Structure 1
Amino acid sequence: MIRLDNLTKVFDTPKGAVTAADHINMEVPAGEICILLGPSGCGKTTTLKMINRIVRPTSGKVFINGEDTTGLNTQELRRNIGYVIQQIGLFPNMTIEDNITVVPKLLGWDKAKYRERARELMDMIALDPDAFLKRYPNELSGGQQQRIGVARALAADPPVMLMDEPFGAIDPINRAVIQDEFLKMQQALNKTIMFVSHDIDEAIKMGDRVAIFRAGRLEQYSTPDELLANPKDEFVESFLGEDRALKRLNLVKVRDVVSDEIGTVSPSDTLETALARIDDFGYQNAILVVNDRRQPVGLISRSQARTTKGYCRDHFQNVPATVSLDDDLRKVASLMFSNDITWLPCVDEAGRVCGQITQRAMTHHLGSRFRPTEPAATAEPATKE
């Protein structure tokens, strides 16, 4: 959907020419989010702004859906590209409805259509249209204004969106909420998005692909998983941080690591049976008690099974936690650490036990991706796993 061909920008300054973006070559497939990441002054925002011609390229070309945009009228180009910035940029003298519908009005939409579009978008960003559409920007919180900025960018249903640190000024709690809502929207909208960020965790969470910039050049362009596992050079590795293996916990789901081999007992089984099952699954120090619907109801520990007689129904302890197939490994690790355990049962949507995840399996899975391989390509990212 977006292709940059040797895109270059040189600024003339009193001290001479400064190359802000140096022959940038990259492609963003339709429906994906590409995060531009790097230290201040590295060229990521300049690259973004050259796409909608806020900054005019010195040389090179921008292709959108295969079309060279060089000959397009600037206004026409921008009306087909949604643009969201950190400062939001809402018009203070306009209502929220008027702010959202600016571009549809310019495109000649009839009143009923653009007003319905505004209500639809308010629902999408989780703000009540009846409560907010007639308000003015100064009556909204910063986080609410940022959501309106996103809605305005989506109003004319553009195929491409450019976002310049759109959530950077929002506090961490609200930022996480808006990020999650935006990702849910993206699943339905399937936009092609280029997104400037300074936050590595945000890039890993939101990006299908990540482009690392350094001094105007594109250092590495790959999926978050590939980037964390195989940084191209020392600069990329240091920029990602020493905890890059831990960062990958956000990318891996329980379903990628879960084992369907899990020992269980029923409430009517004896503690002697429970001890034998624990021995069969030697890396566990406890066995899961499940009811007749295979839902977890408790745990029998090894020490308890050794020293006590009777039935499991009379002696089980509470299950400290369970995880679902769609949880990420960061949540799993947090639950394991907080409960001082090395395994957790996994349940399906109906709450039935469908397997288990162990600390050992997590370590093995993560470690297998960090074995040295050939350096990642600069311009041709690997496909997302």
Structure 2
Amino acid sequence: MIQLEDLTKTFSTPNGPVVAADKVNMTVPTGEICVLLGPSGCGKTTALKMINRLIMPTSGRIYINGEDTTQLNKFELRRRIGYVIQQIGLFPNMTIEENICVVPKMLGWDAKKAKERAAELTDLVGLDPHQFLHRFPKELSGGQQQRIGVIRALAADPPVMLMDEPFGAIDPINREIIQNEFLKMQEVLKKTIIFVSHDIDEAVKMADKIAIFRGGKIEQYDSPSQVLAHPANPFVADFVGSDRTLKRLRLLTAVDVRDIDAPVASMQASVEEVLVSAKSHANRIVVLIDADRHPVAYVTADELSGATGVVSDFAHDLPTTVPVGADLRAVVSEMLSHDTMWITCVDERGHFAGVVTQPAVTAALGQKSSSVRDQATDARLANV
């Protein structure tokens, strides 16, 4: 857990004192990610750097797991905190393994343990240790280097991580991949993380809590759902954007809104049998599956009415399917792309896993926002 109490930083300038951080109070629970957002010069990076004393506070207290860090030597403090920056900062004359092992060796780990940790973490971010550990940074792509920068900060297993726009310099495709890998890793490691970003979409995806800064003060500190649904003031509303309702689509996945009781039948089922299921369901659509429960087609109640035979004679190709863990932004995008009001979900084996409809998505967005994040917590990482 990280606690900031009245954390303040005042800089002296020729024009007088400037307050960069003004009595910042915030608690980040153990195992959660807090993203600091705000315009340039708002104090978010200053607040972050005071935690590991890259910037010395003017006043206030910082507690990590209940310990007042003002009592710690700054070098000892920094060895307890993982730190990731946008520029990565890998040592070019060291191999990837040597880069990752820097802090563990400083802490007195034996070489075997440090190397095992390097291999474990490299594998955790989707890079083959046998291929990458003995390469030099210049032999890696920018996205690969960024992954190494992240796991280097994790090498000594610190309880706390600070991240200063760590994915900001990466192209959108690689940024999405790295974010997903990081969230998978966080699901396993449960670090307490404070993360500076300038991107509200990144914050919504990554954060358990968001702190929005202006003029050195926190304007709102809350869950992404609350910030988007109930901005504290006009500044926050303007900062998160007029499309904030659409941004909330990231907070839920298909598994949260799917209809698992949607009618389903085999391709060889009789029309009479399927028509009973179709008429009893509001959507009036039946998904047809093969012998392995893979959805392959659909029929509607209207076209079956009065017909006989087997449903395969009336089957239409499915417009598309989505993974059951896909976030609702991706689901709605697929609906729009295929001009449909419903979409079939599949599990990781490609088996039928329910149906998502446009009314169900609308209803989810209309729920009290305080419940949205709670419903999505267990499924948040299923989209990666």
1:292 deviates by 6.1
SS in 2 for 1:126: coil
Displacement after TM superposition at 1:277 (Å): 4.5
CA positional deviation for 1:150:
1.0
C-alpha contact (below 8 Å) 2:253/2:376 kept by paired residues: no
Over residues 40-96 of structure 1, what are the superposed CA-to-partner deviations in whole Å (9 max), with x where a residue is unaligned?
111000000000000000000100010001121011000000100001112222222
Contact persistence 1:223–1:383 (CA under 8 A): no
The yes-or-no answer on 1:68 pairing with 2:72 is no
Which amino acid in the other structure matches residue 60 of structure 1?
A: G
- The CA deviation at 1:294 is 5.2
Alignment of 1:3-152 (within 5 A): 3-152=3-152
| Structure 1 residues 120 and 370: alpha-carbon distance in aligned structure 2, compared to 1, 3 A threshold | closer
How do 1:82-231 residues align onto structure 2 when only pairs under 5 Å count? 82-231=82-231
Aligned twin of 1:239: 239
The DSSP-based 3-state class of the residue aligned with 2:39 is coil
- Name the structure 2 match of 1:314: 313
Once residues 224 and 91 of structure 1 are traced to their aligned partners in structure 2, the CA distance between those partners, rounded to angstroms, is 36
- Counterpart code for 1:207: A
1:357-368 matched pairs, under 5 angstroms: 357-368=356-367
Determine the C-alpha separation between the residues in 2 that align with 1:247 and 1:121.
Answer: 32
Structure 1 residue 321: deviation in Å? Answer: 2.5
- Closer, same or farther: CA 258–15 of 1 in aligned 2, 3 Å: same
Asked if the contact 1:223/1:382 (under 8 Å) is kept, the reply is no
Give the AA of the match of 1:191. K
Quote the residue 2:382 is aligned against. Answer: none
Per the normalisation by structure 1, the TM-score is 0.90
Q: How far apart, in 2, do the equivalents of 1:382 and 1:309 lie? A: 47
Percent of aligned positions that are identical = 57
Distance 2:363 2:24 in 1: 37
User: 1:313, CA displacement in angstroms?
Assistant: 2.1
Note the C-alpha offset of 1:183.
0.7
- Are 2:96 and 2:136, in contact at CA under 8 Å, matched by a contact in 1? yes
Matched residues in 2 for 1:382 and 1:358: separation?
21
- CA shift, 1:282, in A, is 4.5
The C-alpha deviation readout for 1:361-382, integer Å capped at 9, x for no partner, is: 11112022369xxxxxxxxx99
Flag the 1:61–1:299 CA change in 2: closer, same or farther, 3 A.
Answer: same
Q: Counterparts of 1:370-385 in structure 2 under 5 Å? A: none
Secondary structure of the 1:56 match is coil
Alignment coverage as a number of residue pairs: 376
Separation of aligned partners in 2, 1:320 and 1:88: 43
Aligned counterparts of 1:34 and 1:213: Cα–Cα separation in 2 = 13
Tell me if structure 2 keeps the 8 A contact 1:147–1:178: yes
Structure 1 residue 176 displacement after superposition:
0.5
The 2-side partners of 1:130 and 1:297 are apart by 40
Q: Determine the C-alpha separation between the residues in 1 that align with 2:52 and 2:121.
A: 23
Instruction: Describe the SS at the equivalent of 1:103.
Output: helix
Deviation at 1:254, TM superposition (A): 2.1
Change in Cα spacing, 1:178 to 1:307, as seen in structure 2 (3 Å) is same
- For structure 2, the residue ranges without an aligned partner over 5 or more in a row are 378-384
Distance 1:247 1:174 in 2: 21
What SS does the corresponding residue of 1:231 show, helix, strand or coil?
Answer: coil
Does residue 299 of structure 1 match 2:266? no
Could you tell me how far apart the structure 1 residues matched to 2:355 and 2:130 are?
Answer: 46
Shift of 1:288: 2.2
In structure 2, the residue corresponding to 1:355 is in which secondary structure? strand
- 1:314 partner SS: helix
After superposition, the Cα gap between the structure-2 partners of 1:305 and 1:166, relative to the gap in structure 1 and judged at 3 Å, is same
Aligned to 2:89, the other structure's residue is in SS state coil
Q: Which one is further off, 350-359 or 56-65?
A: 350-359
Deviation at 1:323, TM superposition (A): 3.6
- Give the deviation of 1:341 after TM superposition: 1.4
Worse overlay, 198-207 or 87-96 = 87-96
Counterpart-to-counterpart distance in 1, 2:37 and 2:242: 17
Residue 383 and residue 233 in structure 1: after superposition, are their counterparts in 2 closer, same or farther (change >3 A)? farther
* Paired AA for residue 297 in structure 2: G
Unpaired stretches in structure 1, ≥5 consecutive residues: 372-380
CA contact (8 A) 1:20 1:215 kept: yes
CA RMSD of the aligned region, Å?
2.5
| Residues in 2 aligned to 1:357 and 1:188: alpha-carbon distance in whole angstroms | 29
Cα pair distance change 1:143/1:307, threshold 3 Å: same
Aligned partner letter, 1:15: N
Structure 2 counterpart of 1:378 = none
Distance 1:112 1:271 in 2: 66
CA shift, 1:37, in A, is: 0.7
Q: 2:252·2:376 contact (CA, 8 Å) conserved in 1? A: no
Q: Structure 2: how far apart are the matches of 1:119 and 1:288?
A: 45
Q: What is the distance in 2 between the residues matched to 1:296 and 1:140?
A: 40
Distance in 2, matches of 1:156 and 1:61, equals: 25
Partner SS, residue 304 of structure 2 = helix
Q: Could you state the TM-score of these two structures normalised by the residue count of structure 2?
A: 0.90
Q: CA deviation at 1:248?
A: 0.9
Q: Deviations over 1:304-355 (max 9, x none)?
A: 4358653212231122223444222112212211221112233445555453
Residue in 2 that maps onto 1:377 = none
In the alignment, the residues of structure 1 paired with residue 203 and residue 78 of structure 2 have an alpha-carbon distance, to the nearest angstrom, of 25
State the alpha-carbon separation in 1 of the partners of residues 12 and 374 from structure 2: 37
Give the Å deviation of 1:250: 0.9
Q: Distance in 2 between matches of 1:317 and 1:324?
A: 20
Q: Greater CA deviation, 318-327 or 33-42?
A: 318-327
> Is 1:335 the equivalent of 2:307?
no
Q: What SS does the corresponding residue of 2:316 show, helix, strand or coil? A: coil
SS in 2 for 1:213: strand
